[in-house]
Chains A and B, each alone.
Chain A
Amino acid sequence: MPGRWILLLILLWLPLAVFADDNAYLNELVEQAREKNLAQRAEWLNLLHYKPYPYWPGMRSLADDPDFFNAPSGKTDAAAELEATLAGFFSTAEETDKAQNPQCRFIARYHWLKKELHFDPQRLREQPCKRFNQWRAALDPHQITLVFPAAYLNNPASMYGHTLLRIDGKNQDEHTRLLAYSISYAAGTNETSGLVFAVKGLFGGYPGLFAITPYYIKVREYSDIENRDVWEYQLTLTLEEIDRLLMHVWELGPIRFDYYFFDENCAYHLLSLLEVARPGLKLTDRFRWWAIPSDTVRAVAEQFGLVKRVVYRPATVTIIRRRLADMEDRQSGLAKGLVERKISASDDRLRKLPPREQARILELAYDYATYRSASGRDTTTPAQMHELLLARSRLEVPPQRPEVPVPVVRPDQGHKTSRLALGVGSRGGGRFEEINLRPTYHDLMDDDGGYTRGAQIEFFNMKWRHYRGEDGLRLEEFTPLNIVSLSPRDDFFTPVSWKINIGWTRKHFADNDEPLIFRASGGPGLAFNMPGTHEGKSVYYGYLEAALDAGKRFDRDYALGAGPVAGWLTDISDRWRVNLYARALRYGLGDAHNARELTLEQRYSLNRQSALHLGLHRKQEFQDYWNAAEISLQYYY
C-alpha cells in the first residue's frame, strides 16, 4: 500500500520536477545565447527577415504576421524573439494535421540554434516533425533553380517580370522538369480589376504569401498561355543549403507579409530565401527602394559561383516563329488554312505532300491553334484541334519540333536598368548642356540584348538643360510613365501596337515663352516588318495619337488634339540603330494650334553599358519653327 502512495506522489511531482529542470536548462541556453550574442548574428536576423528601416536607424522584421513571432515584441526585438523561441522549444505539444510543435513550426530556427548552442537531447527532447519530413521527402530536393519568365508579346509592362524558385528533385532531368515544384511569393487576392490591384498593390494593401505549386502549372501559365520565354538559372546551393532553404520556407508557409509591388515583391522575398540558404550572401541590400525582378536575377548571376547553368525554355509563340522561319510560305499557308477552317486535315493539298512535310504543317497548325485560343481568338474548335493531332499521330515520322536557338544575350546580361546621359546640343542657335536621368527601365532605342524587342517601359524619366547665357538648370521634361509597344504584324500574328505617355514637358508658345505643361498622350498603332527582314530588325510603323496638354498658359487652360505618327525603326548594324519619324498633331479643342515634328534618332553602342545618342529635329509648335540637335553619352548603371 505505501508503495502505491509513493508512486502516486512521484507521479504528481514529476511534471513539476521536469518543469524545474526545463527552466534551468532554458536559463542556461538563454545565458549562452546572450554570451555569444546570437540575436545579432546575420543568420538569426535573416531568419526573422530583419531589415534596416529605409528612413531612420534601427531594424524591424518585414513579416507582418504576429504568428511569426514568439515574443510580443518579436518584430522589433531580435533578442526577445530568440529567447521566446528557445522557451517554445520545450513544448511537448503533439503534432496534428493543423497544429505543430514549435520545434517543427520554427524548424530552421531550431536547427540553427541547436547547432550554435549544442542542445542536449536529454534535457531538450527533439520532436520528430513528421509532417516536415514527409514534405521534404516528397520534394526529394537536389537542386534549386531561379526561374525568370521574360516579357510577353505586346505587353511591355510584363518586362518587369516575375521570379520563382524551383525545387528540382533527385530523379529529374532537363526532360522531366515538369515534375518539380516551384515556390513563389505573390499577393493573395481575388481582385479582378487590374487597376484596383495596381493601386492597392503599390501601398501594401494585399497580404503576400509563399506558396508551393507543381512546376507544370507554372509552365502552363507562362509558356503556354502567356507566351513568355522562361529562363531557368540552376544554382549551386549544396544539399545542406537547400535543406536550410526548405526549412525556412516551411516556417514561412502561413506567414503574411504586406505585398508591395515595387520593393517587397516576389523577387525581393525570393532573394531573402537565398540569403538564409547560404549565409554570407548579400543579395537584398541593394534593393532598398525597388526590386525589379530582372535586376534581382542579375544580382544572383553576379554572385561568383552561385549560378551553375542557365536553361532557356522557349514559349509556344517562340516555337511557332521558329517553325515559320524554317518553312516555305506555301506550307505555312496550309497550316493557317487548317487553323482557320479553310481546309481540313484530310484535304488533298495536304495529303499529297511527303509525310515529313505534312507533319511539320500539322504540328505548326496545332501550336498556332493553341496560341490563338489562348489569346482569345477561337477560330478552331476543340474537335478540330483533336483532328489535327489525330492526323499527326498517323504519320510515321519523328517529331518536327525545331531547336530554338538560345538568345545570345541572357536577361541578366543586358544593359543595366538605370541610365544617365550627359549631352550638348543646339536649339534654334542657342547652345545647351543636358542631363538625362532615367531611373528605369528600357526604351526602343536601347540595345535589346536580354530584353524584348519592341517593348519600351520607362518610369520617372527626367531631363534638365542649361542654356548658354542663362542661369541655372531648367527642368525640360519629367515623365513618370512612358510605355510603347511596337509589335510587327504578319500573316500569323496581328497585334495592335500601342503607346501611352504621361508627364510634364516644355511647350513653345507664340511669345517665345516655354513654360512647363502637363501632357497625357497615347494611342493605337500598326507595325510591320520591312519586306525581306524579320524579327523586328527593321520595322515601319504608324500610330494614331491623341494628346491632352494642360497648363495656365493655354487659352482655357488646355489643348486637346490628335494626329498621326509614322516612322521607321531599323538596325543598321548590331550596334547602330536608327529611328526616323514624323508626327503631326492638330489641337482642335481648347487652345487650337498645330504641332509638328520630324526627328532622326540614332544610337551607337560603345559597349553593353554605354552608348552614343544623336538626335536631329525639325519642330513646330504654334507659329514657330526651329531646328534642334543634341548628342549625348549614355551610361547604364
Chain B
Amino acid sequence: MLNKKLAIVALMVAFPVGAMAAGENNTGTCGWGAKLFDGQRGIAPQVLAATTNGTSGNQTFGITTGTSGCTQDGVVKSNWKTAMFIDGNKTKLARDMSTGSGEALESLAKLIGIQDQHKAAFFQATKDNFSRIFASDNVTTDQVVASLKQVLASDSELAPYSKSI
C-alpha cells in the first residue's frame, strides 16, 4: 500500500496529463477537462479509485443524472465528442501522430469523419505536422484543436474535414 501511495504522490507531481484536470481548460462553456475529473487534482485519485475498484464519487458519468457539463445522462454530448476525446487522449494522440499510426489517431479520424480513402493522407499529415500540432510539451487542448484545423485546411485533400473538428 505504501508503495502505491508513493507512486501516486509522485505521479501527481510527474504526470503531464495530470495538469489537464487542474482547471487549465476553459474552452467553451462545457468545461470538459475539468469535468472529466471533477474536483480532483490530477489523475492520481483516478488511479487509486481504479486499483481499489472505487469511483471517485463524482457522478459526471452517472447514468440518469440529466445534463451535467458536457454530458447528458452520462454520455458525452455530440458537439463535445471530438474536443473531449482530444482532451482525454492528448498524450496518446501525440505518440500516435509522431508515428502516423495507432488506436487514438484511428479513433480521432473516425470522430472527424475521415473517409477510408483519406485516412492515409490524414495520418501522414498529422505526422508531417507533428511539430505544428504539438508545438510544445504543454499545449492546451484548444491549441491542439486549432492547429489541427489549420493543418487540415492547408492540405488540399483534407481541407473539407477542417470544418468537422
For B128, the chain A residues whose CB sits under 8 A away are 393
In residues 104-138 of chain B, which contact A (Cβ within 8 Å)?
Answer: 104, 106-107, 110-111, 127-128, 130-131, 134, 136-138
List of B residues within 8 angstroms of A27 by Cβ:
none
- Report how many residues on chain B are interfacial, defined by Cβ distance under 8 Å: 71
In the complex, the answer to whether B138 meets A382 with C-beta atoms within 8 Å is yes
Bound: A545/B134 CA distance, A: 50
CB proximity of A368 to chain B, nearest CB, Å: 12
* A-contact 0/1 string along B38-73, CB 8 Å cutoff: 000001011111111111110101111111000011
User: Which residue among A179, A195, A221, A376 has the maximum number of chain B CB atoms within 10 Å of its CB?
Assistant: A376
A252–B131 touching, CB < 8 Å: no
Q: Which of A139, A220, A224, A249 has the most C-beta atoms of chain B within 10 angstroms of its own C-beta?
A: A220
| Closest Cβ–Cβ distance, residue B105 to chain A (whole Å) | 9
- CB contact under 8 A between A265 and B53, given known A179-B85, A389-B130: yes
The residue on A at minimum CB distance from B131 is A390
Interchain CB contact under 8 A, B11 and A253: no
Q: Is A543 in the interface zone, CB < 8 Å from B?
A: no
Query: How far, in Å, is A381 (CB) from chain B's closest CB?
Result: 8
A84 → chain B closest CB, angstroms:
20
Which of B48, B99, B137 lies in contact with A192, CB distance below 8 A? B48
Contact B75 A181 (CB under 8 A): yes
Residues of A within 8 A of B107 (CB): 175-179, 216
Contact partner of A139 (CB less than 8 A), chosen from B43, B75, B91, B110, is: B75
Instruction: Indicate whether A89 reaches chain B with its CB closer than 8 angstroms.
Output: no
Instruction: Name the one of B9, B52, B64, B136 contacting A250, with C-beta atoms under 8 angstroms.
Output: B64
Q: Which residue of B lies closest to A158 (CB)?
A: B51
Residues on A with beta carbons closer than 8 Å to the beta carbon of B65: 253-254
Q: What residues of chain A lie closer than 8 Å to B102, measured between beta carbons?
A: 399, 401
- State whether A97 touches B66 (Cβ < 8 A): yes
Known pairs A98-B66, A254-B62; A226 contacts B14 (CB<8 A): no
Q: Are B47 and A363 in contact (CB under 8 A)?
A: no
**Could you say which residues of chain B place their CB within 8 Å of the CB of A373?**
11, 14-16
When the two chains form their complex, are residues B50 and A386 in contact, meaning their CB atoms are under 8 A apart? no
* Nearest CB of chain B from residue A104's CB, rounded to whole Å: 9
Q: Mark A212-237, 1 if CB is under 8 A from B, else 0.
A: 11101100111011100000000000
CB proximity to B under 8 Å, residues A392-419: 392-393, 398-401
Q: State whether the Cβ of A128 lies closer than 8 Å to any Cβ in chain B.
A: no
Interface centre among B54, B103, B128 (most CB of A within 10 A): B54
Query: Taking the complex as formed, is B152 at the interface, i.e. its CB lies under 8 A from any CB of chain A?
Result: no
**Shortest CB–CB separation between residue A66 and chain B, in angstroms?**
16
Determine whether the beta carbon of A135 is less than 8 Å from that of B110. Answer: no
B23 contacts the other chain (Cβ, under 8 Å)?
no
Q: Give, as a whole number of angstroms, the nearest-CB distance from A344 to chain B.
A: 15
Residues A376 and B11 in contact, CB atoms below 8 Å apart: yes
Bits for B81-99, please: 1 = Cβ < 8 Å to A, else 0.
0001100110110110111
Q: Is the CB of A217 within 8 A of B54?
A: no
Contact (A392, B50) CB under 8 Å given A386-B136, A386-B137? no
Contacts of A192 in B (CB 8 A): 45, 48
Complex Cα–Cα for A105 and B57 (A): 22
B53 touches A266 (CB 8 A): yes
Report chain A residues within 8 Å CB of B49. Answer: 186
Pick from A253, A266, A392, A496: contact of B99, CB under 8 Å: A392
* Chain A interface category by residue count: 35 or more
Taking a contact as CB atoms closer than 8 A, the residue among A178, A214, A226, A374 that contacts B103 in the complex is A178
**B6 (CB) vs chain A CBs: closest residue:** A376
Interface status of B13 (Cβ within 8 A of chain A): yes
Measured CB to CB, the nearest residue on chain A to B8 is A376
Instruction: Report Cα–Cα, A482/B90, bound state, in Å.
Output: 41
User: With the chains together, A559 CA to B8 CA distance in Å?
Assistant: 36
Question: CB within 8 A of B137: which of A105, A266, A385, A393?
Answer: A385
A524 CB to nearest B CB, Å? 10
Question: What is the chain B residue whose CB lies nearest that of A163?
Answer: B53
CA distance A439 to B85 in the complex (A): 43
Contact A221 B63 (CB under 8 A): no
9-residue interface stretch from A6-14, A51-59, A203-211, A585-593: A203-211
Indicate whether A189 reaches chain B with its CB closer than 8 angstroms.
yes
Query: Contacts A363-B99, A383-B137: A377 and B10 contacting too (C-beta < 8 A)?
Result: yes
A216: which B residues are within 8 A, CB to CB? Answer: 85, 88-89, 104, 107
Q: Decide if B29 is an interface residue (CB 8 Å cutoff).
A: no
Closest CB-CB distance, A387 to chain B, in whole Å? Answer: 8
Quick one: which of B5, B52, B107, B134 has the most chain A CB within 10 A?
A: B52
Q: Which residues of A463-513 have CB atoms within 8 Å of chain B's CB atoms?
A: 496
Given the known inter-chain contacts A212-B75, A253-B64, A376-B8, please indicate yes or no for A399 contacting B100, CB distance below 8 A.
Answer: yes
Given known A-B contacts A186-B49, A253-B64, A363-B99, A209 and B78 have beta carbons under 8 A apart: no
| Contact between chains at A217 and B103 (CB < 8 Å) | no
Asked whether, in the complex, the Cβ of B95 is within 8 Å of the Cβ of A253, the reply is: no
* Interchain CB contact under 8 A, A393 and B127: yes
CB contacts (< 8 Å) of B75 on chain A: these are 135, 138-139, 181, 212
Query: Would A378 and B10 be within 8 Å (CB), given that A135-B73, A212-B75, A250-B63 are in contact?
Result: yes
A100 contacts chain B at the CB level, 8 A cutoff: yes
**Chain B residues closer than 8 Å to A139, beta-carbon distance:** 75
The docked-state distance in angstroms from the alpha carbon of A398 to that of B98 is: 10
Q: Decide if A211 touches B59 in the complex (CB within 8 Å).
A: yes
Query: Within the assembled complex, what's the spacing in Å between the Cα atoms of A194 and B74?
Result: 28
Q: How many whole Å from B4's CB to the nearest CB in chain A?
A: 7
- Distance from A445 Cβ to chain B, minimum over Cβ atoms (Å): 25
* Bound: A250/B36 CA distance, A: 21
Q: CA separation between A222 and B13, bound complex, in Å?
A: 20
Any chain A CB within 8 A of the CB of B34?
no
A370 CB contacts on chain B under 8 angstroms: 91, 95
Of the candidates A217, A252, A359, A400, the one whose C-beta lies within 8 Å of that of B88 is: A217
Q: Is the CB of B103 within 8 A of A393?
A: no
B151 contacts A by Cβ under 8 Å: no
Chain B positions within 8 Å of A, measured between CB atoms, are: 1, 3-11, 13-16, 36, 43, 45-57, 59, 61-67, 72-76, 78, 84-85, 88-89, 91-92, 94-95, 97-104, 106-107, 110-111, 127-128, 130-131, 134, 136-138
* 11 additional A-B residue pairs with CB within 8 Å, beyond A139-B75, A155-B51, A211-B62: A100-B64, A177-B103, A179-B85, A187-B54, A195-B1, A209-B62, A212-B74, A376-B7, A389-B134, A399-B100, A401-B99
Q: List 27 A-B contacts (CB under 8 A).
A: A138-B76, A175-B107, A176-B106, A179-B110, A181-B75, A186-B54, A187-B52, A188-B54, A188-B55, A190-B56, A194-B1, A198-B52, A206-B54, A211-B62, A211-B63, A211-B74, A212-B63, A224-B92, A226-B51, A254-B62, A254-B63, A375-B11, A376-B10, A383-B137, A390-B98, A390-B131, A393-B128
